[in-house]
Amino acid sequence: MEIAALVAWVVTALGGFVLLFRWIAGGGLRGQQTGETRFPAPLVFGHFLLAAAGLVVWIVYLAADKDGLAWTSFGILVAVALLGFTLFARWLPVHRAAPPATQDATAPPERHLPVPVVVAHGLLGATTLVLVLLAALEVG
């Protein structure tokens, strides 16, 4: 269960990197000054940094086999999921506002995020959360 959680977390992180770089490349950081983005930079980078910190704690847990680290990792992951839901809730209206053909330079940075990656990232994140919980509970 622990290794499955690690694999799910790493694959989720790869999707997160794609989304982060697409948001930045689409003008996400510039959009902070102009108000073009619905994603505040602290929310985006908080989600990213907490997820990375939780992954590091999970890897240390795998090496040290200390139950407290598994629960710490789970707690961090819950916070990451809440930030992720917030990002998703802010992304959804932007995605619904215009058809994909309007992905031009004037579109908000969130409009440049590929839908399949957003969906896969969210589903894999939820899977990771469940796997980490099951591993912390020592199920399986």
Burial class (CB in 10 A: 0-12, 13-18, 19+), 3: exposed
Average pLDDT over residues 35-51: 93
Average pLDDT over residues 81-97: 92
Average pLDDT over residues 65-87: 97
- The encoded tokens of residue 74 equal 């789970």
Per-residue pLDDT, 103: 54
Integer Cα distance of 55 and 84 in angstroms: 15
Per-residue pLDDT, 114: 93
Q: What is the pLDDT of residues 102-118, one digit of tens each?
A: 555 667 888 889 999 99
Average pLDDT over residues 86-95: 92
Higher pLDDT, 103 or 42: 42
5, 73 Cβ separation under 8 angstroms:
no
Cβ neighbours for 118, distance < 8 A, ≥ 6 positions apart: 19, 88, 91
Residue owning tokens 């099951």: 134
Integer Cα distance of 71 and 6 in angstroms: 14
